[in-house]
Amino acid sequence: MAVVAFGSVSRVGFGKSDTHIFFGSGFAFPSKRLSVSSKAFKSMAALTAAPAVGISETFDRLRKRGQIYWVALIPYITAGDPDLPTTAEALKVLDSCGSDIIELGLPYSDPLADGPVIQAAATRSLARGTNFDAVISMLREVLPQLSCPVSLFSYYNPILKRGIGKFMTIIKDAGVQGLVVPDVPLEETEILRMESSKNNIELVLLTTPTTPTDRMKSIVSASEGFVYLVSSVGVTGTRTNVSSRVQTLLQDIKQATSKPVAVGFGISKPEHVKQVAEWGADGVIVGSAMVKLLGEAKSPEEGLKELETFTKSLKAALI
């Protein structure tokens, strides 16, 4: 994720075209619709599950469990990569392997916050004709079968194009519980927060290593569900190590709020998950490593098997 500081304002997801990002390129999904086939893959998870709880409630439940699994595992995948039927099955696999919250990225043509792995996934997804309506149709089918909440990761332009209020109503009706918008600064979240609150969607805000302390306090005060701590300056992607500065950042945030804090960007191995949990994180977000497994597998079936094995290894690291 590109993290750019403008004076005292730290913005996430802005690049050279930051002055045009909200209104420049418009809604990125093609108009072609996809139908989600139920026969493409045999479900690797249970066909029915208890109704999903909200994000805040999920963290509350984890905290009451004590030492076992109290840190939330939050995987991220890109909708429509390699295709929507596989995404549907991947959501079930992630749920059945013990994921506590799942982030689902809406593919976008100008994903400034994302590194090469997720950018490539978005490109493949859009090339296959994935669009917002198809993703929502898939979610309406799948989310009732999951036991954990799903949060959408969407850039701001697609939301603006559809209309903030309408967007929130649509994702609420599909069963979505949360929303992350990486390229909108705090000053422009007022309407987003108002409309998300109306629809019981928890709007998660991001803070970064370059965010000034006073601004960080404002962000964590406004964030809902949890606070998303970006672990390093730059875009998403796997890294060899997690910066030790994350431990200090976690301490600073926890002095400012009692809300859960989840760390993302560069978390790609069981040892990363274990380290960040030991530093005091309430949740760990793993994205590029998940996306790579699904996008680069020899077949969708193989990708799902690899996803299952990897997710279980991450969960085991939290014991």
Work out the number of other CB atoms within 10 angstroms of the CB of residue 37.
Answer: 11
The answer for residues whose C-beta is within 8 angstroms of residue 94's C-beta and 6 or more apart is 75, 77, 102, 148, 307, 311
Q: What string of DSSP letters covers 141-158?
A: HHGGG-SS-EEEE--HHH
Cβ contact 10:212 at 8 Å: yes
187 among known catalytic residues: no
Which residues are within 8 A (CB) of 127 and not within 5 positions of it... i.e. 6 or more apart?
none
d(CA 55, CA 225): 5
Q: What are the residues facing 179 on neighbouring strands?
A: 152, 203
Spatial distance between the Cα atoms of 275 and 270, rounded to a whole number of angstroms: 9
Active-site position among 81, 100, 114, 202: 114
> Which residue among 83, 103, 183, 224 is the active-site one?
103
Has 103 been annotated as catalytic?
Answer: yes
- Give the active site residues: 103, 114
